[in-house]
Amino acid sequence: MMRSVLVFGAGKSTTYLFKYLVGKALEEDLQICIADKNFENILPEIKSSEYVVLKTLDIQDEAKVEALVQEASIVISMLPAFLHIIVAKCCLAYGKDLVTASYISDEMKQLEGSVKEKGLTFLNEVGLDPGIDHMSAMEIVDDIQKQGGEVLLFESFCGGLLAPESDTNLWNYKFTWNPRNVVLAGQGGAAKFIQEGTYKYIPYHKLFRRTEFLEIEGFGSFEAYANRDSLKYRSVYGLDNILTFYRGTIRRVGFSRAWNLFVQLGMTDDSYTIENSEHMSYRDFLNLFLAYSPTDSVELKLRHYLKIDQDDVVWQKLVELDVFSTFKKIGIKNATPAQALQSILQDSWKLSPDDKDMIVMYHKIGYEIYGERKQIDAHMVVTGTDAAYTAMAKTVGLPLGISALLVLNKKITETGVLLPINRNIYEPVLKELKAQGISFTHKEVAYMGYNPNNVFG
């Protein structure tokens, strides 16, 4: 009897997940059931596979969700994060293991006791970030601690970018994942981390001007801004006493400075709606955030307000987005500023069919062992094939598919609401990822962390 892998969600990040599962279907005796409202992102070679069944579904249709889960051998949720709990509760009711790529929510945590009691595995955060970041970092940390070392510095960065051959705009950026998440990045409180023994906080309005610069051999220069809450992973990683713990998002140098203009204007705000937004031109939208003047143009007001010189590359980046256009319309009724900005950006930052994206992940881990301080730098770079088979889809989908089969085949047997931070989980996943062409380059470098004689910080 075939084993059914039920996947809720068929978005752009699922291409490699489906490809991997279909590739394993004969060997593993699988049927892949894909449930979603529409299947426009599923490629023809997946739709036509004899191992794939498509089920049209509204996730709010409780009876249909239950019927699908009852028939499944294991469930994968690729739905938006806030919808995982619907699937999770159904999996709990019918005794099915669950795998997701999203952060563990408070609601999911509350299921821990019941999931353990039923002997189920609810494995979360096994995509890219979160996912590969946890697994690859914990492999290094565990190896250091196994040798008797103490980790003093942990910095981890990840970003979805463009491959050099497709890097054709001044922003060095296009959308390779959910555009809304990009626009809202960093909101919801100050970024928190600890640096050289001192707690640091960066408020949202300063976030994109407090960047760290990175150099990755063979791939050039990058910058990173702090993730919202790095500190919550100290205990998770077993690093409560660490001197530096920082997680950040990677962009090409110059992106953050330009993005900061939108933040300062208020264009990333998602807390109120704009009247008549559907008929508003890009230029009109921009002018909403500038002072009234009977004589000055929008361009002049903007340059004066944000102190942008006419020959500044930031100005050229704005021009490239057509933000001064009187013809292009926002086209969204009752849009928030963030939704309107997203509409403008999607007009310019959509991947062309042949575009290749690039995932960059970078860890800096400093430690002390036998009185000597050392540092390991590790990086992973993955390049996509085209706009369908993206590096983003590969690095999110493959670890998810690999983890699901490991759970299904009882190679991962730990129960509860889990993260992939234990060796018995991350080791087999990383091994299979390496076989699929996803691996890290490790290099020992001079330790660059905390100096106890330094009175600054």
Model confidence over 155-182: pLDDT tens digits?
Answer: 999 999 999 999 999 999 999 888 999 9
- As a whole number of Å, the CA-based R_g of the chain is 23
- pLDDT exceeds cutoff 50 at 320: yes
* pLDDT tens-digit map of 278-295: 999 999 999 999 999 999
Q: Which of 145, 353, 374, 160 shows the shortest CA–CA distance to 250?
A: 160
Residues 362 and 129 sit within 8 Å (Cβ to Cβ): no
- pLDDT exceeds cutoff 70 at 358: yes
* pLDDT tens-digit map of 3-51: 999 999 998 899 999 999 999 999 999 999 999 999 998 999 999 999 9
- pLDDT exceeds cutoff 70 at 454: no
Give the list of residues 6+ apart from residue 24 with CB closer than 8 angstroms, or none.
30, 401, 405
What confidence category does residue 89 fall into, taking pLDDT thresholds of 50, 70 and 90?
very high
* pLDDT tens-digit map of 209-241: 999 999 998 899 999 999 999 999 999 999 999
CA distance 14 to 19: 8
Residues 138 and 237 sit within 8 Å (Cβ to Cβ): yes
Q: Which domains does the chain have, with CATH numbers?
A: 3-127+392-435 (3.40.50.720), 269-349 (no CATH)
Residue position matching structure tokens 């256009």: 325
pLDDT at 448: 78
Residues 401 and 429 sit within 8 Å (Cβ to Cβ): no
pTM assigned to the model:
0.93
- pLDDT exceeds cutoff 50 at 365: yes
- Please provide the average confidence, as pLDDT, over all residues in the chain: 95
Structure tokens at 154: 């942990």
